[in-house]
Every structure is written in C-alpha cells, then in structure tokens.
Amino acid sequence: MREITVRVNGRLSRRTIKDNELLLDFLRDRLEVRSVKAACWRGECGLCTVKLDSHLVKSCLVLAVEADGKEVKTVEGISPEGELSPIQKAFVSHGAAQCGFCTPAWVLATHELLQEKPHPTQADLVEATSGLVCRCGTYNQIREAVAEVSGTTARPRHMKESLARA
C-alpha cells in the first residue's frame, strides 16, 4: 500500500493504492472517471486510452503507482465543462458514434492528433488511431469528422469506391 497523488483533468487526487493496481482500475473505480473503458485488458483495443503527461497510453498496461506525481487527461478534460470541443461536435454531426462504447477513446485520440497536427493526412489519422478498435465500424464517419475539423475535404469512401480501387 502506498499513497499517490495524481492530477486528473486538472483536479489533484490523493489516494492510497495497492502496488499491483492498474491505472485503469484507479481511474474507473477510485476516481469514477467512467469514460475510460475496460474491454480487452491486454492493450489491444485501446478503449482505456488516456493521456499520461504528454503522451497517450493504454491504461490497462500502466500501473497506477507509475502515474504518481503525473498528470492524466481523459476525454472529460479536453473541453470546458458544459461545452463540446470542435472534434466532439463533428463526431455528433457525422454520426461517428454508434453504440458509443469506444467513442471517448476515439475522441481523445483524434483530439490529440489535431492538437499536434491541425491538418493530418489520412495516413496520419490511420497511424495515430491504429491502436483503437471500433466494433461498430464507424471508421468512415470518424474520418469525416476529423476532416471537417481539419478543414480538409474527405470524400466518404463508400464500399463501391473501395471495391473499384481494389
């Protein structure tokens, strides 16, 4: 057991934890940050993605104790309370969320990508989100949402078009 102090979305939290606790469990169970989803538990689906200091990491593969003295950002922390960020608005208008389970991770990852590269290419987007899975398959709508925010025009790639290229 030990005490750790973590700044989550700007708020400082101090909790006593066990050494073998995952950052994922710490965020969900102790701090009730429920946008961080637990799904595969083995770093494959990416739905537990959070920003630890300056980089995105998968919190099911990080110990809570490693976050001691660090800053964690989740999707709750990307826009002021009660407002939506541009990428969140674009997700809504493009229907980029279907069941919604993976949406927080995708919003966070695409938000961070747009912060780093305001005009990402499709290759940038694919690379940056290659660790995330959407079982509903809203990848095209997410691509359109990112294109809208970055001001580039992404023609929706329909199946017919993809087949024609193949």
Residues engaged in binding other proteins (CB under 8 A): 2, 18-22, 25, 28-29, 38, 41-43, 46, 49, 55-58, 60-63, 65-66, 127-128, 130-131
Bridge partners (DSSP) listed for residue 7: 12, 71
For the record, the structure tokens of 33 come out as: 């940050």
User: Nearest distance from residue 152's CB to other proteins, in Å?
Assistant: 21
User: Nearest distance from residue 83's CB to other proteins, in Å?
Assistant: 27
Nearer Cβ to other proteins, position 38 or 136? 38
User: Nearest distance from residue 155's CB to other proteins, in Å?
Assistant: 26
Q: Are the C-beta atoms of 114 and 143 separated by less than 8 Å?
A: no
Q: Are the C-beta atoms of 51 and 33 separated by less than 8 Å?
A: no
CA dihedral for 35, 99, 121, 60, sign (positive or negative): positive
Nearer Cβ to other proteins, position 1 or 83? 1
Task: Give the helix ranges, DSSP H, for the chain.
Answer: 23-25, 86-93, 103-116, 122-128, 139-150, 159-165
User: Nearest distance from residue 153's CB to other proteins, in Å?
Assistant: 26
Residue type, 133: V
